[in-house]
Amino acid sequence: MASEPVSFPIVGIGASAGGLEAFRELLRFLPDDAGMAYVLVQHLDPRHASLLPDLLARATRMQVHEAREGMEVCADHVYVMAPNTDMTLSQGALTLLPRTEARGQHLSIDTFLRSLAESRAAGAIGVILSGTAADGTLGLQAIKAEGGMTFAQDPTSAQFAGMPQSAITAGCVDFIGSPKDIARELTRISRHPYVRQSPVAETEEEAAPHVQEFAGREPELQQILRVLRRRTDTDFAVYKPTTLKRRILRRMALSHIESLAQYLTYLSDHQTEVEALYQDVLIGVTSFFRDPSTFQTLAEEILPPLMATKAAGSPLRVWVPGCSTGEEVYSLAICLLECVAKHSLPVPPIQLFGTDLNAKAIAYARTGLYPPGAIGALSPARLDRFFLPVNESYQIRKAVRDLCVFAQHNLLKDPPFSRLDLLSCQNVLIYLGLAAQKKIRTTFHYALAPHGVLLLGPSETIGTTSDLFAPVGEHKRQWYVKKASSARPLVVEDPRRSTRGTVAGEEGNTMAHEEGQREFDLQHETDRLLASFAPASVVIDAQMEILHFRGDTDPYLGPAPGRASLNLFKMARVGLDLALRTAISKASKSGQPVKKEGIQVSDHGVHRDIAVEVIPVKASATERYFVILFEEARALSTPPTVPLASDERPQGAARPSCGR
């Protein structure tokens, strides 16, 4: 990232159809001395000279320029992209590029906003006005990821709502309003110290000047983290302090708040702000085939030997923790399918698990639907083979989506997947403290199968766990193979968590909520129960959806073919469905634990005699959950002698294993 002095904010404004009038209105309500520069990127006819500079000059007293190569950007000036070009920002100057198109669409707004994010970081501001399609969405995502601020025109006030609505739907917009409202908000934040600073320091240890606001304020910072932990069930104390401080200050600027004490009070009183800060800290940056050289190594040197050594019918298992909106998971799926075809290998069952702490990102990933700018790195052949056009966007074909299971997951608390052939965790550890990094790497060692491969980001290493991993060949920076070790990690829950709710009809230990309310903490109640049990287990809700996994549930549950589902009965192994239904029904009616033994279950040709116990967990008068414990009695060398009746045959026959 280029080094720039403490400077003024630069506002990148994207507009298309209907955007001219919106931008003129924006200019009419912007003062000419706010100390910001404004760069308009408009979809223009490449065959005609632009009349925009003259038209816009009538709406403002600021000087309006048509962009020229190398033109330095100055505060309180307006710059308009020239026709038949793309434009970027580098070290405070504009660079003009030959016009390019991606999949037949000109994505000039994304191009500029991404360069603005990289160049200005927290001093970057993105605004999307009226226009069709989705240009600008990825640019706003990049700005927000770098700590900048993002705005979109209220679709109801836009002549064409496509562009602002796309950005809003993607969840990357901080402020939504009319051009007049946006102008007033830009004016308000223009003098805030957060946006008038150096770009982000190259290392977390180099605190940016604005972070000094936290000097001597650690108690208030810890209180903010406690509010986050209590409201979101996530302990951010393990994150690097500088990252947290930047995100908190960003939210303070957007919330019109100057001091930490004021922000703490505001945070305690507004759940919506807690969610906004939570989403800010969890900002994920990803893209399809993000690092082409990494995927080339994967396709040519990692996957062929992994696939060649798989036994017939044995699944190839891949986990991507911190998957954000899913692009990396789908890129791996594409790479796997291409490798199978290229090397004429037997097609193994393929299981890809994408997890993230951010539930909104996981919901987005499950759709497999991406705007045109997101698929710019894909070749036409890949696009045709693996995607379908859907309403000016592109969706991963169902056959590929069916290989991928997405779930919310906390790396530091929740049990990992097991027997993995490949584990890709890129650019997650860099946000965490050293102790948390070590714990996660130890967990990864446990999760990998013998000779399983670990992929880290280019700025990440195995650190102090060199006894657990060895570099793969010459690729010492990112690729590692699991070493044999007797160490097995323990997944330990936060002991500070309070116990709430009632179990199996009995009153549990309760603790008053800090605001005087009583909340049911399902996660903690489950942990309290399972502290007394060794077997693998799951927690389900009243709709039979699995909420939590504990231990190795692979012998009992596995993903069903077709659309990804966490429904208990769809995942149950052959022979287990009926017993589960009966036990859950009895436990629900009686409010007491129900145990069933002597259940014969089939898993990859091995037949087991197991027991299940269903324990009802009462959250409230109307809300109930169930903890289901699995315990194996013995393995059977021959299949069960009594066949299942046709109307009792489970839905989960012949499914690949889950191993959650």
Cβ density class 557-580: b for 16+ within 10 Å, e for less: bbbbeeebebebbbbbbbbbbbbb
Report how far residue 507's alpha carbon sits from residue 614's, in angstroms, rounded to the nearest whole number: 18
Strand order in the sheet with 387-390: 369-370, 393-396, 387-390
Instruction: Find, among 465, 367, 478, 473, the residue nearest to 423 by Cα.
Output: 478
Sequence-ordered list of residues with C-beta below 8 angstroms from that of 114, at least 6 positions apart, any chain: 138, 139, 142
Which residues pair with residue 88 across a beta bridge? 95
Report how far residue 124's alpha carbon sits from residue 148's, in angstroms, rounded to the nearest whole number: 5
Is residue 16 annotated as a catalytic residue, yes or no? Answer: yes
Q: Amino acid identity, residue 502?
A: T
Report how far residue 100's alpha carbon sits from residue 609's, in angstroms, rounded to the nearest whole number: 63
Is residue 135 annotated as a catalytic residue, yes or no? Answer: yes
Report how far residue 68's alpha carbon sits from residue 364's, in angstroms, rounded to the nearest whole number: 39
Report how far residue 608's alpha carbon sits from residue 311's, in angstroms, rounded to the nearest whole number: 21
Catalytically annotated residue among 43, 445, 524, 548: 43
Output the CA torsion sign for 210, 14, 35, 6. Answer: positive
3-state secondary structure of 274: helix
Report how far residue 72's alpha carbon sits from residue 4's, in angstroms, rounded to the nearest whole number: 13
> 3-class secondary structure for 7-57?
CCCEEEEEECCCHHHHHHHHHHCCCCCCCCEEEEEECCCCCCCCCHHHHHH
Is residue 256 annotated as a catalytic residue, yes or no? Answer: no
Catalytically annotated residue among 76, 135, 414, 577: 135
| Integer CA distances (angstroms), 212 to 122, 258, 264, 404, in order | 15, 13, 17, 44
Report how far residue 439's alpha carbon sits from residue 646's, in angstroms, rounded to the nearest whole number: 48
Sequence-ordered list of residues with C-beta below 8 angstroms from that of 448, at least 6 positions apart, any chain: 420, 421, 423, 454, 482
Which residues are known catalytic residues? 16, 43, 135
